[in-house]
Amino acid sequence: MEEIILATNATVEGEVTAHYISNMAKQFDVQITRIAHGIPIGGELEYADINTIAHALSGRKNYD
């Protein structure tokens, strides 16, 4: 196994679960990644809450 992709819900419970699994997996030589969370395609910023916007901004990447 080369990678563990964490795909938990964007809730407090999902965050805690992802953190727990990540900590457990650190003992292995494996890449740990997490799926992106944020504004969906076609979503309107005016309807997004501050936490969703914060997640979207923290997961941003270069635009080539």
Ranges of each domain in the chain: 3-58
Q: What is the pLDDT of residue 41?
A: 84
Q: What is the pLDDT of residue 25?
A: 93
Secondary structure element (H or E) that encloses residue 58, with its range: helix 50-58
What are the two backbone dihedrals, phi and then psi, of residue 27, each rounded to the nearest 5 degrees? -75, -10
Q: What is the pLDDT of residue 6?
A: 93
DSSP-derived secondary structure letter, 41: T
Q: What is the pLDDT of residue 61?
A: 79
Q: What is the pLDDT of residue 2?
A: 92
Q: What is the pLDDT of residue 64?
A: 62
Q: What is the pLDDT of residue 5?
A: 92
Q: Per DSSP, what are the bridge partners of residue 23? A: none
Q: Which residues of the chain have pLDDT under 70?
A: 63-64
3-58 belongs to CATH 3.40.1360.10 = yes
Degrees (nearest 5) of the Cα angle 10, 37, 48?
85
